[in-house]
């Protein structure tokens, strides 16, 4: 359930919050009051986690807001979500558009990855204490990912002291439904100790729309050198691993693949690793 469902896209004067001193505090107070008005919410915690400057504006900034809530009909289930608001210190808005080029800043701003958010289970190459941390969100059947991921992974694999490479499965199921099976099979194969799964799986030849699970697994096993079965990919822990990756991507507002983070910040060029030392 989206906690933003009941919030309208509005512009609000912040001067009405007399007890808050900073813009972050004013924003937290406003959102807390709005959420508390929602009769479905039992508890809500609002915290500005990050403030990011906008390249084309000196006045406006982006505020990455972390939400933790419980619902009255599911009081034991903690919902965690991140949202972005914009403010110039006196007003806030959910939508901000650059009139010179039509760019929506909501699509441009991405939260940074915190050091504590890197998961050892996602470390595919390098030492976790390497000089640079690289996070890759990718779909094995995405054409753009096929062009990027294998080459990048092979390169960074050669420099374990330079790169700690974290790979996150982010299957785009609407256009590549077969990726659901491939990514689950990949987790199984990785746990079985098969090497270079994150590289090999990009060589799989299967129709992105394929729904025959056994056919997909045959193609996967042939390329990866594994023996993954339908029973293997049905293990609840496999589904949990994929959900972990996709939820992490959602929290970072990742919407397309491949998305690359270099030293905790999104790398829109996707090539910073090539010049890193």
pLDDT in tens, 196-252: 999 999 999 999 999 999 999 999 999 999 999 999 999 999 999 999 999 999 999
The architecture in CATH of the region 115-275 reads 3-Layer(aba) Sandwich (3.40)
Domain locations in the chain as residue ranges: 11-108, 115-275
Domain 11-108 shares a fold with domain 115-275: no
Question: What percentage of the chain's residues is helix, strand, coil (to nearest 5)?
Answer: 35, 25, 40
Sign of torsion, CA 150 251 230 176?
negative
Contact 156, 127 (CB under 8 A): no
Determine the Cα–Cα distance for residues 260 and 262; give it in Å rounded to an integer: 7
CB 3 within 8 A of CB 37: no
CATH number of 11-108: 3.10.450
Whole-number Å distance between alpha carbons of 238 and 39? 36
Q: Is 50 exceeded by the pLDDT of residue 51?
A: yes
Q: Which of 19-23, 76-80, 88-92, 231-235 has the largest mean confidence?
A: 231-235
Q: Are strands 163-169 and 132-138 parallel, antiparallel or unpaired?
A: parallel
* Contact status, residue 63 vs residue 85, Cβ threshold 8 Å: yes
Q: Is 123 helix (H, G, I), strand (E, B) or coil?
A: strand
Q: Which residue has the tokens 């293997």?
A: 232
List pLDDT tens digits, range 103-160: 889 888 999 999 999 999 999 999 999 999 999 999 999 999 999 999 999 999 999 9
* Kind and range of the H or E run holding 74: strand 74-87
């Amino acid at each position: 359930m989206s906690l933003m469902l009941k919030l309208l896209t509005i512009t609000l004067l912040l001067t009405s919050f007399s007890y808050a001193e900073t813009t972050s505090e004013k924003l937290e107070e406003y959102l807390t009051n709005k959420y508390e008005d929602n009769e479905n919410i039992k508890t809500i915690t609002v915290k500005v986690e990050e403030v990011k400057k906008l390249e084309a504006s000196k006045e406006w900034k982006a505020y990455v807001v972390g939400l933790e809530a419980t619902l009255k009909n599911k009081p034991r289930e903690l919902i965690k979500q991140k949202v972005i608001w914009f403010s110039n210190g006196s007003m806030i808005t959910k939508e901000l558009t650059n009139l010179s080029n039509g760019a929506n800043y909501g699509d441009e701003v991405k939260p940074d990855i915190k050091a504590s958010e890197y998961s050892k289970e996602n470390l595919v190459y390098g030492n976790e204490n390497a000089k640079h941390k690289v996070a890759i969100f990718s779909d094995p059947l995405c054409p753009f990912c096929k062009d990027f991921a294998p080459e990048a992974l092979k390169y960074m694999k050669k420099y374990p002291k330079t790169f700690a490479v974290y790979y996150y499965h982010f299957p785009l199921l609407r256009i590549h439904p077969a990726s659901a099976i491939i990514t689950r099979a990949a987790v199984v194969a990785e746990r079985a100790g098969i090497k270079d799964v994150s590289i090999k799986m990009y060589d799989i030849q299967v129709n992105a729309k394929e729904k025959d699970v056994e056919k997909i697994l045959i193609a996967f096993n042939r390329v990866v050198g594994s023996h993954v079965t339908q029973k293997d990919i049905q293990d609840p822990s496999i589904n949990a691993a994929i959900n972990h990756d996709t939820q992490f991507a959602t929290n970072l507002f990742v919407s397309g693949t491949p998305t690359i983070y270099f030293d905790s910040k999104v790398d829109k060029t996707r090539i910073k690793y090539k010049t890193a030392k």
